[in-house]
Amino acid sequence: MTERHPILFVGAGPGDPELITVKGQMALAAADLVVYAGSLVPEALLRWARPGTAAIDSAPLDLESIVAQMAGAQRAGKRVVRLHTGDPSLYGAIFEQLAALRREGIPSLIVPGVTAAFAAAAAFGLELTLPGVSQTLILTRAAGRTPVPTGESLTALAAHGATLAIYLSAGLIDRVVAELVESYGPDTPCMVAYRVSQPEEKLLRSRLDRVAAAMRCAGIGRQAVILVGPAMAQDSRESDAARSLLYHPEFSHGFREGAERQVPAGSQDGDRRR
């Protein structure tokens, strides 16, 4: 009887082959067939597969063709990896693939990956959540050919004052700015990472009311993640008000006794009080 293996949906990370997880790398090394999203996943990621491993670029294929390729190989006893950019669970269009495989009675597993927002934060040297500045990160996109649900417009989300990581919206930057500027203000810091972690990487620091022109000047119109919010401000990141309680000399927790004098206003981190 032919041994059958679950199809693995693997997050390739933001593009740098070394930013794939160890588990993802091992899955590629064991694969007999790799179906990868060639429009977004660099072919450099395929270096983790064995020489001669079959690889299919899914960019020109429709859902039915992709599922047929994977299902046929899986039924033949082959180990199949479906390689997605970033993390498969975020804008990965995996729901319909998983549903189709379930209808075929084919098991699947997901191996998470590093998403572009975190690669961008690393490239810029940012902490996305700062005590007293922003403790919330929202991953979202602008409404384009794919709509967003009512209540999830950029204007509504920006009203929270949180850090926004905006995907799949570089080509709509004028609309993005128009929707955000009312809540954030024109001088809110904005950072753009194009093909972050890849050889073509471009990193752009600006402010909200100038970022559209800056992106056009840099030739950035797609494949970029946009980070917006007060936590992006250089002065906020260097301010004592944004200091975490975790290492504050006057704060006690389960692993250290502090002086327990008055903690500076704004240094609030409830998750670390115990």
Q: Which of 118, 121, 227, 213 is nearest to 166 (CA)?
A: 227
Whether the CB-CB separation of 231 and 215 falls below 8 Å is answered with no
Q: Give the per-residue pLDDT at 254.
A: 59
2-6, 28-32, 173-177, 190-194 — which is least confidently predicted? 2-6
Q: Give the residue, 131 or 48, on which the prediction is more confident.
A: 48
Examine the domain organization and report whether 226 and 124 are in the same domain.
yes
Q: Give the per-residue pLDDT at 1.
A: 72
Q: Which of 188, 150, 154 is nearest to 173 (CA)?
A: 154
151-165, 172-186, 234-248 — which is least confidently predicted? 234-248
Is 264 a member of any domain? no
| Secondary structure of residue 183 in the 3-state scheme | helix
pLDDT band at 10 (very low <50, low <70, confident <90, very high): very high
Examine the domain organization and report whether 103 and 142 are in the same domain.
no
Examine the domain organization and report whether 50 and 149 are in the same domain.
no
Look up the CATH number of the domain holding residue 91: 3.40.1010.10
Is 249 a member of any domain? no
How many domains are contained in the chain?
2
Examine the domain organization and report whether 151 and 86 are in the same domain.
no
Scan for tokens 């930057």, then name that residue.
Answer: 173
Alpha helices in the chain (DSSP H): 22-30, 63-75, 95-103, 116-124, 154-158, 173-184, 211-218, 234-238
- Enclosing domain of residue 58: 7-111
Is 256 a member of any domain? no
pLDDT > 90 in the chain, percent: 76
What is the mean pLDDT of the segment spanning 232-253? 59
Is 272 a member of any domain? no
Look up the CATH number of the domain holding residue 148: 3.30.950.10
Is 266 a member of any domain? no
Q: Give the per-residue pLDDT at 233.
A: 86
Q: Give the per-residue pLDDT at 145.
A: 87
Mean pLDDT of the chain: 89
pLDDT at residue 146 greater than cutoff 90: no
What is the mean pLDDT of the segment spanning 152-169? 94
Examine the domain organization and report whether 139 and 231 are in the same domain.
yes
Is 177 a member of any domain? yes
Q: Give the per-residue pLDDT at 274.
A: 39
Examine the domain organization and report whether 54 and 81 are in the same domain.
yes
Domain boundary among 93, 111, 129: 111
Q: Give the per-residue pLDDT at 23.
A: 98
Q: Give the per-residue pLDDT at 237.
A: 44
Examine the domain organization and report whether 88 and 132 are in the same domain.
no
Q: Give the per-residue pLDDT at 273.
A: 41
